[in-house]
């Protein structure tokens, strides 16, 4: 680049000590040059005469830029082409617009398309090469499918993955990734589509200095940036300064605008031969970017780039709804567990509300994501999960009483507030403390461990400096080997929904304690009356379910039988549609009979009293094994019992049915050729919230398809199936509901721990001592 090209550079930077802020001051919007894969003409918007041209016009048009400047478009375009351009000039805005004109250049050069826009007092005519005259039409089916995937995505990460897959399919880049900005403007690659032989970038973090402030401002104005050859040499404008303004023109919206030499070196150090970047914008702020890389130079047509820009704008428009979906799902989980916790607390509140917080699932710890929790009430301290030592917790409470008078206090770095926090950062760098209003020193506490997470960053920590011709220039990091930075003394920040949940729990507990203090005797009488009414209601409901299901079976059986008679006697007299409808009637009546039978069985569980006796679980398992032996053989299922199980006090038949239902479920929802079911007693200490002196904890584990955590509450609901009736052997969806009711009838609880594709483990408790 000649001296004239460099003359507009901020002279205050030359000879100064170079810092990262210097990079932020680089005037990238007025480079005075273009990328050489096309050429540029700048017209005065009033006279429509050429005032500037790129220095490569002689190559493409056979006319040097100096000769073109001062003349009209008739030097370049045929009359009909010039008329089309002039007709469009009055409608131009800053947004580039593709003109349906093909320019035939000098021999040996490609055809060119014209891209036009208006900005900074200049009419911009940019000429890009055309690979072929008959370009492929817009692939509407692809676009329709792409938008359908984006609309259907159930989470932000799924949404991002669909987007990178679509952009790569359209453009053929070697790698397409989405880079999301954090609050400190650093970024992380959260989705990627790439060639199989390339190293992954997924999860890699980049410092905020990788994208200077003025570049971020440009990305907000210009949705797409394209560099087909990162090894290009810039082509200057002739003249560099606009004669009317006396300065280089503002090329913010120019498609061919030359980019910063610092950025070009950055790309070369990454091994990128061509790049394209699409802005992702939310509420006027840069949320992230779709970044495309190719190992070699790659020219992507303007039309395809325009389609990618459309995908980027669609992404930006839908982003808020996808984030809301993620937040709503987590908020719903918190609300459900909070509601269940309140039920426990309400039942236990008049005797010992702490039991309701700590003894049953979900506990105080399970309401939202944390490492551990603690309840300090009337000098009694109960801990759940991973927590500091009792001494450290009592010191924390003393600190809270002196320094945190608010009802609900939170921090993600306790060590930054109190040096004593360094000793407990492994379990409690983050803290929520909710004070209970009835007495000083009573607290509900939630803990998060130090995030001592390893963040993988790209490149070295600082940008290198190089000396060229006596002048200091910034260059990007020379090495892109990952380096790691530890985030110390800090936990993941608490989300607003978690703080609101803590406040609501505090208020509910405070209300319960106040009512207990003021109305204990009155509540005792009311509770007795309500229990009697509830028992009567339950009896009435069970009786209704029993009578309804029993009385419905007979007419339904008649419908089923008469449907079979019609098929047997009149099938030859009916057309294919009539036979199909009768077959459907038979199938639906069979399914209805199964549902009624399940309802009848569930009502029997509720109505029947337990016949308690000493039950040897090893004998029960042998009996269940004998009953299901044929199914075990048919499904190639192996039953493994870990160690000898204890004898319990329970109803032998009901306990047998619990195991039978859980085994049947494990066989049904398993697509592995060799299925394994393991049964045993859970290890002591696995569930701290369960008092192992009072309860046994048993498990049934399989290696099946697993259950998504968001559906794990639903599987225990009557007739609730996660799959269509024709998948995994059908069924009514009542087995787990019946098993859960049988366990609860014994005074225990039943729950599941599972992840998709990793099998499921069902746990249930049985009291050791019958009260």
pLDDT at 21: 47
Mean pLDDT over residues 570-597, rounded?
68
Assigned domain for 485 exists = no
Judge if 533 and 671 occupy the same domain: no
Domain boundary among 258, 291, 319: 319
Beta strands in 345-460 (DSSP E): 372-377, 380-385, 408-411, 430-435, 443-448, 454-457
Q: Tell me: the pLDDT tens digits for 113-152?
A: 999 999 988 999 999 998 654 455 567 787 788 888 888 8
Q: How many CB atoms neighbour CB 539 within 10 A?
A: 12
* Cα atoms found within 13 Å of the Cα of residue 257, Cβ hemisphere only: 21
Question: Contact at 8 Å (CB) between 479 and 461?
Answer: no
In terms of residues, how long is the chain?
771
SS (H, E, C) 236-285: EEECCCCCCCCCCCCCCCCCCECCCHHHHHHHHHHCCCEEEEEEEEECCE
Tell me which of 254 and 486 has the higher pLDDT. Answer: 254
CA separation for the pair 177, 291 (Å, rounded): 5
pLDDT at 273: 93
pLDDT at 309: 93
Percent of all residues in the chain with a pLDDT value above 90, rounded to a whole number: 38
Give the residue carrying structure tokens 């069970």: 542
Judge if 12 and 155 occupy the same domain: yes
Assigned domain for 186 exists = yes
For residue 700, give the CATH number of its domain. Answer: 3.30.565.10
On the question of pLDDT at 187 being above 90, the answer is no
Give the residue carrying structure tokens 């505090």: 506
On the question of pLDDT at 348 being above 50, the answer is yes
Strand-pair partners of 467? 472
CA separation for the pair 47, 31 (Å, rounded): 25
The tokens describing 300, both together, are 């992507």
How many structural domains does the chain have?
A: 4
Those residues whose C-beta lies under 8 Å from the C-beta of residue 622, and which sit 6 or more positions away, are: none
pLDDT at 101: 77
The tokens describing 367, both together, are 């309401």
pLDDT at 3: 32
CA separation for the pair 77, 61 (Å, rounded): 10
Single out the residue of 680, 685, 606, 622 nearest to residue 656, CA to CA: 622
For residue 595, give the CATH number of its domain. Answer: 1.10.287
Written as one string, the DSSP assignment of 11-50 is GGGTTSPP-HHHHHT--TT--SEE-TTSEEEEEETTT--E
Q: Tell me: the pLDDT tens digits for 145-186?
A: 888 888 888 899 999 999 999 999 999 999 999 999 988 788
Tell me which of 287 and 210 has the higher pLDDT. Answer: 287
Judge if 504 and 601 occupy the same domain: yes
Single out the residue of 236, 226, 398, 217 nearest to residue 304, CA to CA: 226
Tell me which of 451 and 534 has the higher pLDDT. Answer: 451
The structure's pTM equals 0.57
Q: How many CB atoms neighbour CB 658 within 10 A?
A: 28
Mean pLDDT over residues 472-498, rounded?
62
Judge if 663 and 707 occupy the same domain: yes
Most confidently predicted of 88-92, 208-212, 514-518: 88-92
pLDDT at 554: 63
3-state secondary structure of 156: helix
Assigned domain for 258 exists = yes
pLDDT at 318: 92
Tell me which of 525 and 715 has the higher pLDDT. Answer: 715
Question: Contact at 8 Å (CB) between 232 and 35?
Answer: yes
Percent of all residues in the chain with a pLDDT value above 70, rounded to a whole number: 78
Judge if 151 and 263 occupy the same domain: yes
On the question of pLDDT at 730 being above 60, the answer is no
3-state secondary structure of 666: helix
Task: Sort 492 into a burial class: Cβ within 10 Å, 0-12 / 13-18 / 19+.
Answer: middle
3-state secondary structure of 475: coil
For residue 79, give the CATH number of its domain. Answer: 3.30.450.20
Assigned domain for 467 exists = no
Mean pLDDT over residues 60-83, rounded?
91
Written as one string, the DSSP assignment of 565-602 is HHHHHHGGGS-HHHHHHHHHHHHHHHHHHHHHHHHHHH
Assigned domain for 106 exists = yes
pLDDT at 17: 37
On the question of pLDDT at 472 being above 60, the answer is no
Assigned domain for 76 exists = yes
Judge if 626 and 680 occupy the same domain: yes
Q: How many CB atoms neighbour CB 680 within 10 A?
A: 16
On the question of pLDDT at 53 being above 60, the answer is yes
Please calculate the CA angle 360-610-598 and round it to the nearest 5 degrees: 85
Question: Contact at 8 Å (CB) between 115 and 128?
Answer: yes
Strand pairing class (430-435; 372-377) = unpaired
CA separation for the pair 462, 223 (Å, rounded): 28
Question: Contact at 8 Å (CB) between 720 and 738?
Answer: no
Single out the residue of 558, 551, 554 nearest to residue 585, CA to CA: 558
Domain boundary among 99, 130, 161: 130
pLDDT at 1: 34
On the question of pLDDT at 445 being above 50, the answer is yes
Question: Contact at 8 Å (CB) between 126 and 255?
Answer: yes
Assigned domain for 252 exists = yes
User: Mean pLDDT for the chain?
Assistant: 81
Mean pLDDT over residues 744-757, rounded?
88
Q: Tell me: the pLDDT tens digits for 284-321?
A: 999 999 999 999 999 999 989 999 999 999 999 999 99
Those residues whose C-beta lies under 8 Å from the C-beta of residue 605, and which sit 6 or more positions away, are: 654, 738, 741, 742, 745
CA separation for the pair 741, 739 (Å, rounded): 5
Assigned domain for 483 exists = no
The tokens describing 447, both together, are 């803990």
Q: Tell me: the pLDDT tens digits for 377-399?
A: 888 899 999 999 999 999 999 99
Judge if 196 and 272 occupy the same domain: yes
Q: How many CB atoms neighbour CB 463 within 10 A?
A: 21
Kindly state the greatest CA–CA separation across the chain: 107
User: How far does Cα 473 stand from its chain's mean position?
Assistant: 40
Beta strands in 283-359 (DSSP E): 285-294
Written as one string, the DSSP assignment of 668-682 is HT--SSSEEEEEEEP
Region label for 49, one of left (φ > 0), alpha (ψ between -120 and 50) or beta (otherwise): beta
Query: Which of 96-105, 622-631, 761-770 is the least confident region?
Result: 96-105
Mean pLDDT over residues 443-448, rounded?
96
Those residues whose C-beta lies under 8 Å from the C-beta of residue 73, and which sit 6 or more positions away, are: 41, 43, 48, 50, 82, 85, 86, 125
Judge if 145 and 99 occupy the same domain: no
The one-character DSSP state at 703 is: -
For residue 170, give the CATH number of its domain. Answer: 3.30.450.40
pLDDT band at 111 (very low <50, low <70, confident <90, very high): confident
Judge if 111 and 59 occupy the same domain: yes
On the question of pLDDT at 519 being above 60, the answer is no
Judge if 510 and 582 occupy the same domain: yes
Mean pLDDT over residues 455-463, rounded?
58
Q: How many CB atoms neighbour CB 378 within 10 A?
A: 10
CA separation for the pair 419, 422 (Å, rounded): 6
pLDDT at 593: 57
On the question of pLDDT at 719 being above 80, the answer is no
pLDDT at 401: 93
User: What are the CA-CA distances from residue 336 to residues 50, 147, 665 (Å)?
Assistant: 68, 33, 25
Mean pLDDT over residues 681-696, rounded?
87
pLDDT at 530: 65
CA separation for the pair 136, 722 (Å, rounded): 43
> Domain range for residue 109?
31-130
Mean pLDDT over residues 53-78, rounded?
92
Judge if 146 and 90 occupy the same domain: no
Judge if 642 and 756 occupy the same domain: yes
Q: Tell me: the pLDDT tens digits for 600-644?
A: 555 555 555 778 889 999 999 998 888 888 888 888 999 999 888
Domain boundary among 574, 608, 642: 608
On the question of pLDDT at 23 being above 80, the answer is no
CA separation for the pair 707, 699 (Å, rounded): 16
pLDDT at 553: 56
């Amino acid at each position: 680049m000649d001296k004239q090209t460099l003359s507009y550079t901020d002279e205050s930077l030359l000879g100064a000590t170079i810092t990262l802020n210097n990079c932020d001051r680089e005037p990238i919007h007025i480079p005075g040059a273009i990328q050489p894969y096309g050429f540029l003409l700048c017209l005065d918007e009033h006279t429509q005469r050429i005032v500037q041209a790129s220095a490569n016009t002689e190559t493409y048009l056979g006319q040097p830029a100096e000769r073109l400047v001062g003349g009209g478009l008739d030097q370049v375009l045929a009359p009909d082409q010039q008329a089309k351009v002039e007709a469009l000039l009055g409608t131009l805005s800053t947004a580039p617009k593709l003109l349906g004109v093909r320019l035939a250049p000098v021999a040996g050069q490609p055809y060119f398309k014209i891209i036009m826009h208006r900005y900074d007092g200049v009419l911009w005519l940019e000429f890009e090469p055309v690979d072929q005259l008959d370009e492929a039409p817009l692939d509407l089916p692809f676009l329709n499918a792409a938008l359908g995937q984006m609309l259907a995505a159930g989470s932000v990460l799924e949404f991002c993955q669909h987007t990178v897959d679509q952009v790569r399919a359209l453009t053929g880049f070697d790698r397409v990734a989405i880079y999301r900005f954090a609050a400190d403007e650093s970024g992380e690659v959260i989705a990627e589509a790439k060639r199989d032989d390339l190293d992954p970038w997924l999860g890699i973090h980049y410092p905020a200095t990788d994208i200077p402030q003025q570049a971020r401002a440009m990305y907000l104005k210009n949705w797409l940036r394209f560099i087909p050859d990162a090894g290009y040499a810039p082509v200057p404008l002739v003249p560099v300064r606009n004669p009317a303004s006396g300065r280089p023109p503002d090329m913010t919206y120019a498609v061919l605008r030359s980019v910063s030499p610092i950025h070009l070196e950055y790309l070369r150090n990454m091994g990128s031969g061509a790049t394209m970047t699409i802005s992702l914008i939310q509420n006027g702020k840069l949320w992230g970017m779709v970044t495309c890389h190719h190992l070699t130079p790659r020219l992507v047509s303007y039309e395809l780039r325009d389609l990618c820009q459309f995908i980027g704008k669609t992404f930006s428009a839908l982003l808020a709804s996808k984030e809301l979906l993620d937040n709503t799902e987590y908020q719903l989980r918190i609300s459900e567990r909070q509601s269940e916790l309140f039920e426990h607390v309400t039942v236990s509140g008049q005797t010992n509300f702490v039991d309701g917080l700590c003894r049953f699932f979900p506990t105080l710890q399970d309401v939202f994501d944390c490492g551990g929790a603690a309840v300090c009430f009337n000098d009694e301290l109960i801990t759940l999960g991973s927590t500091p030592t009792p001494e450290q917790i009592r010191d924390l409470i003393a600190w809270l009483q002196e320094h945190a008078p608010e009802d609900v206090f939170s921090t993600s770095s306790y060590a930054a507030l109190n040096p004593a926090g360094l000793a407990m950062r492994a379990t409690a760098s983050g803290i929520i403390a909710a004070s209970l209003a009835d007495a000083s020193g009573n607290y509900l506490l939630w803990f998060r461990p130090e995030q001592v997470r390893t963040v993988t960053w790209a490149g070295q920590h600082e940008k290198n400096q190089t000396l060229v011709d006596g002048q200091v220039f910034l260059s990007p990091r020379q090495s892109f080997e990952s380096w790691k930075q530890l985030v110390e003394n800090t936990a993941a920040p608490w989300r607003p929904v978690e703080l609101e949940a803590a406040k609501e729990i505090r208020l509910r507990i405070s209300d319960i304690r106040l009512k207990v203090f003021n109305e204990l005797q009155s509540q005792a009488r009311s509770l007795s009356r309500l229990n009697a009414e509830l028992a009567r209601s339950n009896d009435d409901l069970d009786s209704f379910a029993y009578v309804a299901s029993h009385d419905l079976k007979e007419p339904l059986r008649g419908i089923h039988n008469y449907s079979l008679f019609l098929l047997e006697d009149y099938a030859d007299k009916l057309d294919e549609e009539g036979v199909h409808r009768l077959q459907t009637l038979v199938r639906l009546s069979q399914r209805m009979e199964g549902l009624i039978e399940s309802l009848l069985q569930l009502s029997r569980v509720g109505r029947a009293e337990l016949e308690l006796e000493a039950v040897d679980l090893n004998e029960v398992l042998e009996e269940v094994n004998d009953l299901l032996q044929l199914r075990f053989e048919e499904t190639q299922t192996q039953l493994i019992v870990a160690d000898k199980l204890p004898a319990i006090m329970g109803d032998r038949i009901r306990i047998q049915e619990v195991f039978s239902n859980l085994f049947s479920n494990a066989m049904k929802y398993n697509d592995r050729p060799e299925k394994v079911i393991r049964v045993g007693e859970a290890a002591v200490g696995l569930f701290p919230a369960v008092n192992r002196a009072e309860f046994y904890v048993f498990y049934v584990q399989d290696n099946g398809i697993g259950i998504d955590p968001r559906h794990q509450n639903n599987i225990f609901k009557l007739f609730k199936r996660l799959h269509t009736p024709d998948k995994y052997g059908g069924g009514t969806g009542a087995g787990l509901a019946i098993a859960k009711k049988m366990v609860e009838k014994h005074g225990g609880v039943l729950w599941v721990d599972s992840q998709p594709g990793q099998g499921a483990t069902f746990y249930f408790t049985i009291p050791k001592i019958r009260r």
